[in-house]
Amino acid sequence: MAQRFGRVNRFGDCADTEIHIVHPTSFNRDDEYERKRQETLALLQHLNGNGSPLALANIDPDRQTAAFAPAPTILPVSDILFDTWSMTTIHRELPGCPVVEPYLRGSEQEFPETYVAWRKEVSLPAHLLESYRHSREDLFEDYPLKPHELLRDRSDRVAKHLIAICKRAGKSLPSWTLDQRGYIKQLTIADFTERELKERIQHCTVLLPPESGGLDDNGSLDGLSPKANDVADEWRDEDGNACRLRRWSDKPNPEPVDGMRLVREIDTQPDADEDMERAAEELRDEGLGARRGRYWRWYVRPRSADDEGSTTALVPIPLNAHTNQVGAYAKKIAAALDLPADMQVALELSGRFHDLGKRRELWQRSIGNPNPTDWHAKSGRRWKPLDITSYRHELGSLLDVQNEIEFRGLNDDGGDLVLHLIAAHHGRARPHFPSDEIFDPDPNHSEALIERIAIEVPRRFARLQRRYGRWGLAYLESLLRAADWAASNKPMALAAGES
């Protein structure tokens, strides 16, 4: 309550500021939480309308303590749990790996919470989501959920409203759940009782299509309301400019959007050339409503969206220029932190070699490079990215770095660190690369070599985590990411011959 009071008049210049508190008129004295709430109300009444810092400070400490919420149960943890939580590459459920929320905030089984958001992509036809090109997780990597989209409430309340929405909108209502590990599952609300649904959605985000409704005029969850909007495009910067937007079009070539880059194009009628009318009817049947265009294009403003940056640069950036910049920033960061000399060398080399795997024509075509043998690290504003491969350039970099003289001169510990930082700089290698990403379009690399390199990734992760500790290794990974971000957003002036 003290924190809320401070937010109402943080500058101290509003003499007419008022705080209105809505509260029940009776409390269940047999319930500890209810007793604490009643004590809180008594203290608020004792303040007699004065919520100033001085008045709060003068409250009797024993009465304050009596009004505190019951202390949550602190759950015991173990090395096994920490090791399991550190394996962030694994999105699917793991045996013996509970959600982390109760361990962060304490166990309060009465009031687990759930987020709800409304997104148009939930209504996309299933066949458009059956490949890596438009997987549910990839869609949310391109267009992450932002705070302004999210409604939060207790899981039991959310479950009641979801069941009401399902009854009103129909049992076939599409919906997804996004868990804490970033994995998305289909949710069929009609298959659950209210109690089962409450347990199913705890500590998750439920994603609904806008046509499902569920919001009242005040922006609160209301299962009886047919209203709801997808507000993902309402993310804006400090000047009020949209950071991203999505457009529908029938034109095969994307229309330019001032100051933005195209990051995803979804052909909602891939079979239209064979049967245009059937495809249009299918689109309507799948819940996207009246047909607004064949292509759904997603744009983001460079340097404002949280993505890998390869497809959102302002201008094409040559590969060598970028990697030298990252190496220079990594060296500067490591020196400023006064890290051990061998660690500084490892960070600099990992920066210079982290994108070697982008030297593939297939990868260059995927960022829209019109001359795919002219290696670039970032695409230009007029380049059109293509979802044509699940190839990971980090894995290719692990293969290519083996031939670098400076890398081969490192001892085993330094080489391990360089390889892991390269492998992990976009979130993989904790502990592995998914099986569909273990390949390389370069014919000079045999399947046996690729498999050997991939198998070593989780072993190396385990070795380094033992050596540097869980948080220590994550910290070192963050330094390379910081250097990569800095080079992409604020290029530094390099000495002659380095750029």
Over residues 168-190, the pLDDT tens digits come to 998 889 999 998 888 899 999 99
Residue-level pLDDT at 292 = 72
What's the mean pLDDT in 16-34? 87
CATH class, domain 317-489, is mainly alpha
**CA-to-CA separations, 123 to 36, 286, 418, 453, 470, in angstroms, rounded:** 44, 6, 43, 39, 39
Question: 396 or 282: whose pLDDT is higher?
Answer: 396
What's the mean pLDDT in 280-298? 64
Work out the percent of the chain whose per-residue pLDDT is above 90: 58
What is the C-alpha to C-alpha distance for residues 272 and 281, in angstroms, rounded to an integer?
11
Residue-level pLDDT at 460 = 98
Asked if the model's pLDDT at residue 289 lies above 50, the reply is no
pLDDT in tens, 324-340: 999 999 999 999 999 99
What is the rounded average pLDDT for all residues in the chain? 87
The Cα angle at residue 386 between residues 382 and 388, in degrees rounded to 5 = 160
Asked if the model's pLDDT at residue 283 lies above 60, the reply is no
pLDDT in tens, 368-416: 899 999 999 988 767 777 777 889 999 999 999 999 999 999 999 999 9
What is the C-alpha to C-alpha distance for residues 117 and 207, in angstroms, rounded to an integer?
5
pTM, two decimal places:
0.78
77 CB contacts (<8 Å, ≥6 apart)?
103
What's the mean pLDDT in 211-229? 94
Domain spans of the chain, in order of start: 2-67, 110-233, 235-300, 317-489
